[in-house]
Structure 1
Amino acid sequence: MADTGGVSASGGVAADQLRAFVERIERLEEEKKAISDDIKDVYAEAKGTGFDVKILRQVVRLRKQEPHEREEQEAILDLYLHALGMTPAANDA
């Protein structure tokens, strides 16, 4: 017997459940779009007051990281920059 994913051929309770899931997902997608638009508005407002949006996005991304993850990434970045001669200490050598 083929797996119908919980939907009965007669369109019973499982079909109603499926419809409910789809409608919930659609509502959440609408909410997500609204929130995304709100975030864009906040970035535009920050830009309008003189903040660098690219750096602001970087700050938000960094604040999401655990401190040890951020420190590890910074150490690797410093290592790479040093290897490429792009740090003040590397230029003095």
Structure 2
Amino acid sequence: MQLQTSAKDQLRAFVSRIERLEEEKAALSADLREVYAEAKGTGFDVKALRKVISLRKLDENKRREEDAVLTTYLHALGMDTDAAESEAA
């Protein structure tokens, strides 16, 4: 299968753009690792910090929906802290 010259040029351009973006993505990933390491060094829990970042990406309705489902599951498994405190009283 032979590609026309214009198709070859387009392909090269796409490959070049993708490679450049992959390099930028790698640099950003390294920057993020550094920030998380800095936060950890300051005493912050990185796992919790990642969860906060994840939750902030969601719109408020989606976040509330996920929280409601999680609360329901925890309650069903007897892991709901409010239910455990009520039963202890």
How high is the TM-score relative to the length of structure 2?
Answer: 0.87
Residue 63 (1) aligns with residue 56 (2)? yes
**Equivalent position of 1:37 in the other structure:** 30
1: CA distance, partners of 2:59 / 2:72: 20
How high is the TM-score relative to the length of structure 1?
Answer: 0.84
Residue 46 (1) aligns with residue 73 (2)? no
Alignment map for 1:1-93 (pairs within 5 Å): 7-8=3-4, 12-91=5-84, 92-93=86-87
Q: Which has the larger radius of gyration?
A: 1
Paired residues in the alignment total 86
Shift of 1:90: 2.7
Q: Where do 5+ consecutive residues of structure 2 fail to align?
A: none
Q: Where do 5+ consecutive residues of structure 1 fail to align?
A: none
